[in-house]
């Protein structure tokens, strides 16, 4: 794995419930599923632990079973740019895995998370043998392209309320993150890390969004009441 050796050493087989939570496992044939399950591993990542780092070669395709990860990169001046968060059900790095190249970003756990990995050789075997898997990966790439175009737009927005709304909407993408549902387990500080704002400013934006009826703040998370309202914010004060 292109992860810290301690995390690699903690890897184990997946339980039945963990396997059932993997969205692409259900599109495989019996033979394909058997091979995939034999190569899948999972490990518990601590808060702040890196799953993969810029410059390291890919050996696994990763997915979040539980928890929350952050995708970011560092520039020459040492500044960090956050691209997106990865909540439960999200699998990432398929483009890197397809090209077998080095990572161009870091993936770090924002809280204690369970992260599954499929060996890159098995990933390619499934691409060669499974139509269902190919469709899943193709949909992932298509949605990811739209996600990063939106992320560029969000990064240029000066209105912090709109930034919070659009960033939240991206975390509720049903294709990329099918296991999130209507409630996202995230703290205001974690959201602040992803959006690039202070926790206080994020709190103000969430209060305004709740008053608008777009979300409902719950203990330990956020419930989306109107996803389209989050996506269409343009003149949010």
pLDDT tens string 183-233: 899 999 999 988 889 999 999 999 999 999 999 999 889 999 998 888 876
Question: Looking at the chain, which residues constitute the CATH 2.60.120.10 domain(s)?
Answer: 5-150
Q: Which fold has domain 5-150?
A: Jelly Rolls (2.60.120)
Supply the pTM of this predicted model. Answer: 0.86
Whole-angstrom Cα distance, residue 62 to residue 59? 10
Which pLDDT tens digits describe the chain residue by residue (237 residues)? 444 557 878 999 999 999 999 999 999 999 999 999 999 999 999 999 999 999 999 999 999 999 999 998 876 666 677 888 999 999 999 999 999 999 999 999 999 999 999 999 999 999 999 999 999 999 999 998 887 777 666 666 668 888 899 889 889 988 999 999 888 999 999 999 888 899 999 999 999 999 999 999 998 899 999 988 888 764 444
Angle between helices 131-155 and 160-171 (to 10 degrees): 170
The CATH class of the 159-231 domain is: mainly alpha
Whole-angstrom Cα distance, residue 14 to residue 122? 16
Residue 2's nearest CA partner among 43, 56, 73 is: 56
Whole-angstrom Cα distance, residue 222 to residue 227? 12
- Residue 1 half-sphere exposure toward CB, CA atoms < 13 A: 25
CA 149 to mean position of chain CA atoms: 16
What are the residues whose beta carbons fall under 8 Å from the beta carbon of 227, sequence distance 6 or more?
169, 172
- Look up residue 101 and give its two tokens: 């190249």
Angle between helices 199-212 and 188-195 (to 10 degrees): 100
Location of structure tokens 């934006």: 205
Show contacts of 35-39: CB within 8 Å, 24+ apart.
35/122, 35/125, 35/126, 36/118, 36/122, 36/126, 39/118, 39/119, 39/121, 39/122
**Within 10 A of 135 (CB to CB), how many other CB atoms are there?**
12
Question: Looking at the chain, which residues constitute the CATH 1.10.10.10 domain(s)?
Answer: 159-231
CA separation, residue 55 to residues 6, 102, 103, 160 (Å)? 19, 5, 5, 32
Residue 19's nearest CA partner among 44, 45, 40 is: 40
Q: If you average pLDDT over every residue of the chain, what do you get?
A: 89
């Amino acid at each position: 794995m292109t992860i810290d050796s301690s995390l690699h050493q903690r890897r184990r087989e997946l339980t039945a419930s963990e396997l059932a939570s993997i969205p692409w496992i259900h599109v495989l044939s019996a033979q394909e599923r058997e091979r995939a399950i034999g190569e899948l591993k999972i490990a518990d990542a601590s808060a702040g632990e890196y799953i993969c780092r810029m410059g390291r070669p890919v050996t696994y395709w990763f997915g979040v079973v539980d928890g929350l990860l952050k995708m970011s990169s560092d520039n020459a001046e040492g500044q960090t740019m956050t691209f997106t968060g990865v909540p439960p059900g999200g699998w990432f790095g398929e483009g890197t895995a397809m090209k077998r190249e080095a990572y161009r970003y870091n993936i770090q756990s924002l809280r204690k998370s369970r992260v599954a990995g499929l060996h890159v050789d098995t990933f390619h075997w499934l691409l060669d043998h499974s139509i269902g898997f190919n469709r899943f990966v193709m949909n992932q790439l298509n949605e990811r392209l739209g996600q990063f175009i939106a992320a560029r737009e969000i990064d240029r927005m000066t209105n912090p309320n709109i930034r919070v709304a659009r960033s939240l909407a991206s975390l509720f993408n049903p294709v990329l993150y099918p296991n999130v549902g209507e409630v996202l387990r995230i703290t205001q500080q974690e959201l602040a890390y992803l959006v690039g704002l202070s926790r206080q400013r994020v709190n103000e934006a969430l209060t305004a969004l709740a008053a608008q009826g777009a979300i409902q703040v719950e203990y330990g998370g956020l419930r989306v009441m109107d996803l389209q309202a989050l996506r269409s914010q343009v003149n949010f004060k």
